[in-house]
Amino acid sequence: MIPAAFAYEVAESVDHAIGLLGERDEAKLLAGGHSLLPAMKLRLARPACLIDVGRLAGLSYVQEEGNSIAIGAMTRHKDVADSSALQEHCPIVPYTAGQVGDPQVRHRGTIGGSLAHGDPASDLPAVILALGGELVARGPAGDRAIPARDFFTGVFQTALAQDEMLVEIRVPKLGPERGWSYKKMSRRAQDWATVAVAAVVERTNGSIDRASIVLANMGGTPLHAAASQKAIADGASIADAAAVASEGTDPPSDHAASADFRLHLARVLTRRALEEAAART
Ligand SMILES: Cc1cc2nc3c(=O)[nH]c(=O)nc-3n(C[C@H](O)[C@H](O)[C@H](O)COP(=O)(O)OP(=O)(O)OC[C@H]3O[C@@H](n4cnc5c(N)ncnc54)[C@H](O)[C@@H]3O)c2cc1C
């Protein structure tokens, strides 16, 4: 439970942090530390240098920008959960932030850390992907926007380059025609999801005709339940669409559940999520 030795730097600005990332070998940003420090204590991560960005207050905000809401990467889960702008315009995000860990975790952990960590069992990556959100990375050459569908590349892997920092997350405002749901099953109250399902549906002519459904912990990254989405677009019932939710997934077997149980959970939670999302339109 004691990490390997590491150097420690405090970043005074985002540009300073990016400069240090480029200069130092095997450097990692330290945000809330609630994923990185446990991994270091277990020796699953051994960065040679930690760059502490936890004091960069300028990256903690939630603000409306036209049809989107911009969330600073250093915004803590608690502040995301309490944001009135998100509660009004994109309630799936604050609801899900309130499902992360326990109050201690939510007071330290950041939305940027959760996304940059790339854990397929995490809650917020599934939701940002279901919303079709965008992630803004800053590096030596400036900012680039990465669609959420291109951001998660593997287990604990993302599209961020070594010298890039995630600075902002953008999500769309959901109008009254769009309903949402996040269904998470975990063994203990503060745990990561055994399986979770994020659903955003759209009703145009009386019925649900589009759904974005994302599964957490059903593979190496958060995954769209593509067969269910197609079934909804083709006019299938919610029950029939949910029945194919696990197609194309490759869930792990571990201490929390067997792969077979996860396949079952994906179907059950997708049905519940679609029913709840449809009722909210
Ligand atoms: C007891 C416990 C229970 C938890 N339960 C849950 C849960 O139920 N659901 C859930 O989703 N999560 C859970 N978590 C994880 C929690 O959400 C973490 O806060 C989050 O995953 C990481 O955020 P952080 O700010 O702590 O990041 P850190 O741990 O500081 O960093 C994580 C990784 O992201 C990188 N990073 C951080 N910020 C940036 C940035 N802005 N740009 C680029 N790279 C960056 C770091 O270098 C590191 O590699 C739990 C954690 C604990 C300790």
Residue with tokens 């970043």: 11
Whether the predicted pLDDT of 187 surpasses 80: yes
* Same-domain check for residues 45 and 63: no
Among the candidates 130, 156, 171, a domain finishes at 171
Question: What CATH number is attached to the domain comprising 34?
Answer: 3.30.43.10
Q: Tell me the CA–centroid distance for residue 244 and ligand 1, in Å.
A: 31
- Residue 74 carries which side chain, given as an amino acid letter? M
Among the candidates 114, 148, 171, a domain finishes at 171
Say which residue, 243 or 281, is predicted with more confidence: 243
Q: Is residue 84 part of a domain?
A: yes
* Same-domain check for residues 47 and 62: no
The answer to whether the beta carbons of residues 193 and 213 sit under 8 Å apart is no
Burial bucket for residue 62 (CB in 10 Å: 0-12, 13-18, 19+)? buried
Burial bucket for residue 55 (CB in 10 Å: 0-12, 13-18, 19+)? exposed
* Same-domain check for residues 97 and 165: yes
- Residue 151 carries which side chain, given as an amino acid letter? F
pLDDT given at position 204: 83
CA distances from 156 to 73, 202, 234 (A): 17, 31, 34
* Same-domain check for residues 165 and 63: yes
- From the list 200, 218, 203, the residue with the least C-alpha distance to 256 is 218
pLDDT given at position 258: 97
Among the candidates 145, 171, 197, a domain finishes at 171
Residue having the nearest C-alpha atom to atom 2 of ligand 1: 101
* Same-domain check for residues 47 and 75: no
**pLDDT tens-place string over residues 71-126:** 999 999 999 999 999 999 999 999 999 999 999 999 999 999 999 999 999 999 99
* Same-domain check for residues 155 and 201: no
* Same-domain check for residues 159 and 257: no
Range of the domain at 209: 178-279
What is the mean predicted confidence (pLDDT) over 61-68? 97
Q: Is residue 1 part of a domain?
A: no
The answer to whether the beta carbons of residues 242 and 230 sit under 8 Å apart is no
Q: What share of the chain is helix, strand, coil (3-state, %, to 5)?
A: 35, 25, 40
Q: How many whole angstroms separate alpha carbon 276 and alpha carbon 272?
A: 6
The pocket around ligand 1, CB under 6 angstroms, is made up of 28-36, 38, 73, 100-101, 105, 109-110, 112-114, 116-117, 122-124, 160, 165-166, 190-192
Q: Tell me the CA–centroid distance for residue 119 and ligand 1, in Å.
A: 9
Q: How many whole angstroms separate alpha carbon 252 and alpha carbon 3?
A: 27
* Ligand 1 atom nearest to CA at 35: 29
* Same-domain check for residues 189 and 129: no
* Same-domain check for residues 164 and 89: yes
Q: Tell me the CA–centroid distance for residue 177 and ligand 1, in Å.
A: 33
Q: How many whole angstroms separate alpha carbon 69 and alpha carbon 170?
A: 6
* Same-domain check for residues 32 and 65: no
Question: What CATH number is attached to the domain comprising 244?
Answer: 3.30.390.50
Q: Tell me the CA–centroid distance for residue 241 and ligand 1, in Å.
A: 33
**CB neighbours of residue 241 within 10 Å:** 26
Q: How many whole angstroms separate alpha carbon 33 and alpha carbon 96?
A: 20
Q: Tell me the CA–centroid distance for residue 33 and ligand 1, in Å.
A: 6
Supply 65's token pair: 């920008």
* Ligand 1 atom nearest to CA at 29: 47
- From the list 22, 24, 116, 10, the residue with the least C-alpha distance to 56 is 10
Confidence class for position 55, pLDDT limits 50, 70, 90: confident
Listed in sequence order, the DSSP H helices in the chain are: 14-23, 36-41, 77-82, 84-89, 92-97, 103-108, 111-117, 123-130, 148-151, 226-233, 238-242, 259-279
Question: What CATH number is attached to the domain comprising 100?
Answer: 3.30.465.10
* Ligand 1 atom nearest to CA at 109: 19
Q: How many whole angstroms separate alpha carbon 256 and alpha carbon 194?
A: 6
* Same-domain check for residues 144 and 231: no
Question: What total number of domains does the chain contain?
Answer: 3
